[in-house]
Structure 1
Amino acid sequence: MSDHVVQIVQHLRPGGLECLVLDLTRRSRSRSTIISLEGTREEAINAWPRLREFSDRILFMEKPPGLVPRLAVSLARTLTAIGADVVHTHHVGPLIYGGAAARLAGIAKLIHTEHDAWHLDARRRRFIVRTAMRAFRHLLVADAPNVAGQMNLHLGFENIMVIPNGVDTNRFTPGNSRIARASLNLPLGVPMFGIAARLEHVKGVDILIDAMTEFPELHLAIAGDGSERESLIRRVDANGMAGRVHFLGRVDAMEDFYRALDRFCLSSRAEGLPLSLLEAQACGIPVIATNVGGVLDAMDPGSGFVAAKAEPAAVVNAIYGSLARIQVSNPRDFVMEHYSLDRMMIDYEELWHGNTPNQSSDMATA
């Protein structure tokens, strides 16, 4: 396949969306480039060493803060210069700038994947997204049925294709817990729960910390960084939990992080279809998560446990339920069957090159 596929993201910082884009690029049979609207090459690679593998396939537009109309023209020139045939945007900023640039550059194939829908609760955001989708006529993809449903409800679009996120089940595999904990300097011989998330309000790490006060025997490992790190550390100290909550910062070997755990928890206030749940389950780890976004779609029903709301009391109940239940299935089998990276790659490759993946949901131009 000779088509040059260009994926456009807002930034290249560690996150589920960004990891998915890297996986798509790494596994694609097509010529592939990633364009980040924000940041510089040096800053991004220094902050996320994994990007070195992609250094010859990533470009940075170095967008300043705020609305920058001229960026669409610069981006169109870049797309023309590198010979882009397909433009695939992810999230709102790339939807707008990438959509305008693709049309200015005369690129016919324009695809947009929506990874969550909670931001559409805001009326202004709905207007902007709906206007961009209608103006640029993307092929629309959602990463979960729930996200597709919210796009239909808030934006009025129908027949949105659903391509579920996939994870690399060759990388994320069960492993030795003791070795994994040693590699992360986590204590042995204690029950270990964990969360991997940006340390921002939407991810609800504070909710999980508050819930864990009810379980003095449990330790909590936190992978990730963000603007709430210091306030979360203060919260842990105020709750008298400093000896059993472990802030790990950025973790590159995430497979070892999951292997170190007895349970993986996700206490988000909003989500799309979270990759971290799939990665943990691919490593054979049962999960606990709040019932937001596509969480129910991403959870093995025979081993996972859901918290009804994104609040500490509901998470406490879910932890009790998870600890008490008899596990009747292997979460890795669930991911292998429904959420493998290979399956996702087949669907996107077919979409990039002019075909509709063979699944029940239809694709529509907005």
Structure 2
Amino acid sequence: MNTVFVGHTSNISGAEKMLLAVVGEAVRSGAAVTVVCPEGRLAQALPAEAQHVAIPELGLGGEQGPARILAAARMAARWVSAARTIRSLSRRPGTATVVNSLFALPAAQLARPPRGVSWLVHDAVASGRQRAVVSISRRVVRRAVACTEAAAAPVRDLGLPAEVVPYGVPWPVEDYFAATRTPPVVGMLALLTPWKGHLVLLDAIARLDGVDVELAGGNFSGDQDYVDELRARAERPDLAGRVRFLGHVDPDEVLRRWDVVVSSSVLPEAGPLSVLEAMSHGLPVVASDHGGPTEFLAHGEGILVPAGDSGALADALRTLLGDDSTRAEMGRRARATVAARHDSAVTLPALYSELIA
């Protein structure tokens, strides 16, 4: 069996971390693995057994206004270039092609692999732009595999078959729960891009005296204006000295020192891996009440708040940071949920099997 994986970016966020995990499972299964993705951090993180073939970046990268129009035109040209590469690899006998990103689907459509492609759905398809990309690519998608029902439902609404296989994280792992620190530390593991909702979190922390916040994650070059906006917000008197920008970090390093983890996305996320990572280590999560977190936190593993509501987010954080027993109980429930549904030793083989079925 030959398996070709296609990624759209050189950056590593939750979707790319899951891609690396599935690539590892494919290697362990004995498949000949090729990963088609841009040069950069993702390619450097591939296992030695996987062949890397470079393509251009296929995402818009956060540009706004007229710059976004030019970026879209460049992206179309890159889809054509990437399609040539995908075509030559996917037409080898006995090859399964797996697309890891919505924005790589048009390149796969142009490549037209003989067996079609499996799409590993990391997006809760919510915007008109996302739906348009899926619509122009739907003929090449043989099956879609999503991590939550929240991600599968909009794909089915567009007429594509979608199965659900939950994401997983390593298990068992250490319980990081501890009594609330002084000062308390709230953390967020997410790419610095507007839809992740960092400004909502900063506005919430501004309502809480004596609470620090750490933002862990890099950013696309096109999102630099947003990063500058975040830094300017962090320097205002109500937050000065309480916000730390960490860049790319080892999640375990920061989770050990956080009291609560936040996922404050303003648009739905399919299944943020950072939420599962926090849950596995016994940390309570406060998340926006849409997308995958509504399933991850359905049984008291954390608190759901309306998306974009900094007041509700502040209230939830105030409740948790003032009550260690509630945090501990949520942490216990979170670890039990991970053990029962999100152990990667179980989910990864199931996910890879579904993708190549």
Q: TM-score, normalised by structure 2?
A: 0.82
5+ residue gaps, structure 2, are 59-73
Q: 2:131 aligns with which of 123, 126, 134?
A: 126
Alpha-carbon separation, structure 2, partners of 1:277 and 1:229: 22
Deviations 1:214-248 (A, max 9, x none): 11121111101223222211101114323221111
After TM superposition, give the deviation of residue 144 of structure 1 in Å: 0.9
2:268 matched to 1:267?
Answer: no
* Alignment partner, residue 155 of structure 2: 151
Residue 51 to residue 77, structure 1, CA distance change in 2 (3 Å): same
2:87 matched to 1:76?
Answer: yes
Q: Is the 8 A contact 1:5 1:87 kept in 2?
A: yes
After TM superposition, give the deviation of residue 316 of structure 1 in Å: 1.4
Percent identity, aligned pairs only, is 21
1:256 maps to amino acid: E
Residue 174 to residue 214, structure 1, CA distance change in 2 (3 Å): same
1:340 maps to amino acid: D
After TM superposition, give the deviation of residue 125 of structure 1 in Å: 4.0
Q: How does 1:262-301 map to 2 (within 5 A)?
A: 262-270=259-267, 271-299=269-297, 301=299
Q: TM-score, normalised by structure 1?
A: 0.80
Alpha-carbon separation, structure 2, partners of 1:175 and 1:319: 18
5+ residue gaps, structure 1, are 179-187, 355-366
2:53 maps to amino acid: L
Deviations 1:317-355 (A, max 9, x none): 22234344724351222112111212221222322443x
Alpha-carbon separation, structure 1, partners of 2:156 and 2:356: 25
* Alignment partner, residue 55 of structure 2: 61
Residue 67 to residue 334, structure 1, CA distance change in 2 (3 Å): same
SS at match of 1:117: coil
Q: 2:100 aligns with which of 75, 86, 90?
A: 90
SS at match of 1:58: strand
After TM superposition, give the deviation of residue 273 of structure 1 in Å: 0.7
* Alignment partner, residue 33 of structure 1: 34
Q: Is the 8 A contact 2:22 2:352 kept in 1?
A: no
* Alignment partner, residue 348 of structure 1: 351
* Alignment partner, residue 183 of structure 1: none
Alpha-carbon separation, structure 1, partners of 2:100 and 2:46: 21
* Alignment partner, residue 100 of structure 1: 110
* Structure 1 runs, 4 residues or longer, greater than 6 Å off: none
Q: 1:51 aligns with which of 45, 54, 57?
A: 45
Residue 349 to residue 215, structure 1, CA distance change in 2 (3 Å): same
Q: Is the 8 A contact 1:204 1:310 kept in 2?
A: yes
SS at match of 1:296: helix
Q: 2:165 aligns with which of 163, 169, 174?
A: 163
Deviations 1:85-129 (A, max 9, x none): 1101122222221243242xx3x26211221224x431x542441
> How many residues in Structure 1 have an aligned counterpart in Structure 2?
325
SS at match of 2:3: strand
After TM superposition, give the deviation of residue 176 of structure 1 in Å: 8.6
Alpha-carbon separation, structure 2, partners of 1:54 and 1:254: 23
1:148 maps to amino acid: A
SS at match of 2:36: strand
Residue 56 to residue 298, structure 1, CA distance change in 2 (3 Å): same
Q: Is the 8 A contact 1:35 1:58 kept in 2?
A: yes
After TM superposition, give the deviation of residue 56 of structure 1 in Å: 4.7
* Alignment partner, residue 192 of structure 1: 185
Alpha-carbon separation, structure 2, partners of 1:121 and 1:216: 36
Q: Is the 8 A contact 1:304 1:322 kept in 2?
A: no
2:193 maps to amino acid: E
After TM superposition, give the deviation of residue 34 of structure 1 in Å: 1.7
* Alignment partner, residue 358 of structure 1: none
* Alignment partner, residue 364 of structure 1: none
* Alignment partner, residue 341 of structure 2: 338
After TM superposition, give the deviation of residue 70 of structure 1 in Å: 4.5
After TM superposition, give the deviation of residue 24 of structure 1 in Å: 0.9
Q: Is the 8 A contact 1:305 1:322 kept in 2?
A: no
Alpha-carbon separation, structure 1, partners of 2:195 and 2:293: 15
Q: 2:17 aligns with which of 19, 26, 41?
A: 19
Residue 284 to residue 50, structure 1, CA distance change in 2 (3 Å): farther
Q: Is the 8 A contact 2:281 2:335 kept in 1?
A: yes
Residue 273 to residue 221, structure 1, CA distance change in 2 (3 Å): same
Deviations 1:61-92 (A, max 9, x none): 135832123432232113347x6611011222
1:116 maps to amino acid: D
Residue 283 to residue 115, structure 1, CA distance change in 2 (3 Å): same
After TM superposition, give the deviation of residue 49 of structure 1 in Å: 9.0
* Alignment partner, residue 247 of structure 2: 249
Residue 193 to residue 127, structure 1, CA distance change in 2 (3 Å): closer
**Which 10-residue stretch deviates more, 238-247 or 287-296?**
238-247
